[in-house]
């Protein structure tokens, strides 16, 4: 998954889509995922990094990541 090129983000978790004018906020894990997506990290790498950083269950996080990616697509933030 890749973020659309025109999506603006901040370190505080604010996400802005200038194409639609919509803005969103993400929690710290969501902010880290967005940052990793901007760095073109693979889903596998994202799972590895987030699970290590936040000590979360990998199988649960994979499901949560799928849901998060679906939301990004629904909101027009990713392709």
Q: 43-54 vs 28-38: helix axis angle to the nearest 10?
A: 150
User: Domain map of the chain by residue range?
Assistant: 8-74
pTM: 0.90
pLDDT tens column, 7-62? 999 989 999 999 999 999 999 999 999 999 999 999 999 999 999 999 899 999 99
Query: Three-state DSSP class for 70?
Result: helix
pLDDT of amino acid 1? 83
């Amino acid at each position: 998954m890749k973020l659309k090129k025109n999506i603006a983000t901040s370190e505080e978790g604010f996400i802005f889509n200038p194409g639609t004018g919509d803005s969103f906020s993400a929690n710290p894990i969501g902010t880290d995922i967005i940052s990793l997506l901007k760095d073109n990290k693979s889903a596998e790498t994202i799972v590895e990094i987030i699970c290590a950083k936040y000590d979360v269950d990998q199988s649960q996080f994979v499901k949560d990541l799928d849901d998060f990616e679906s939301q990004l697509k629904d909101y027009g933030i990713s392709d």
